[in-house]
Amino acid sequence: MKIGKDTVVSMEYELRLGGSDEVIDSSEGEGPLSFLIGHDNIVTGLEKQILGLAVGDERDIEVAPEDGYGVRDESKLIAVPRTVLPQDFEIEPGLPLELEDEQGESFPVWIAGVEGDQVMLDGNHPLADETLRFHIKITEVRKATATELTHGHVHGEGDHHHH
Ligand code: ZN
């Protein structure tokens, strides 16, 4: 079976950035990463380039920032009063948070730092502006179940998702 829309893919991967040889993320020790194709589970540039692959295929894949975690946009830096966050919340730069817009849609931000009584939140992904270099090996391709398609993510073995 080949990777296509509505298939569930498991793969081993290593991620490096730009021209660096340092592995900043990998499936080693964690087991293969599983995700659903066609539901924004992984960055678009990676998804596009694994379409048509099958179990056993191994590739080096390069993803430009535009198709990865985006290009840095300074207008996505926002300051909120410290009081907006729970009192016992430990503010640590790099920590991810979920915010809600007026429509109730949640979106991710990362703590950039503290300035006086303001907390700076950054809507840019920490890997914005980075060229992503993946080394991947496909370990499983299967059809998604009806429930997985409804939910838009993978269920089952090795999946820590709960309902
Ligand atoms: Zn689910």
User: What's the gap in Å between 38 CA and the centre of ligand 1?
Assistant: 15
Q: Domain range for residue 19?
A: 7-69+128-159
Residue 111's CATH number: 2.40.10.330
Q: Between these two residues, 158 and 1, which has the higher pLDDT value? A: 1
- Whether 149 is covered by a domain: the verdict is yes
Record the pTM: 0.83
Ligand 1 center to 92 CA (angstroms)? 30
Number of domains in the chain: 2
More confident residue, 27 or 105: 27
The alpha carbon of 140 and the centre of ligand 1 are apart by a number of angstroms equal to 20
Q: What mean pLDDT value characterizes the chain?
A: 93
- The C-alpha angle with vertex 87 and arms to 86 and 92, in degrees rounded to 5, equals 80
Query: Does one domain contain both 113 and 152?
Result: no
Task: Quote the pLDDT of residue 90.
Answer: 85
Residues 114 and 79 in one domain: yes
The pLDDT of residue 152: 95
The reply to whether 134 falls in a domain is yes
> Rounded distance, CA 99 to CA 106, Å?
5
Q: Tell me: pLDDT of 84 over 90.
A: no
Q: What distance in angstroms lies between residue 20's CA and the mean position of ligand 1's atoms?
A: 36
Q: What is the model's pLDDT at position 31? A: 94
- CATH code of 21's domain: 3.10.50.40
Q: Is residue 140 part of a domain?
A: yes
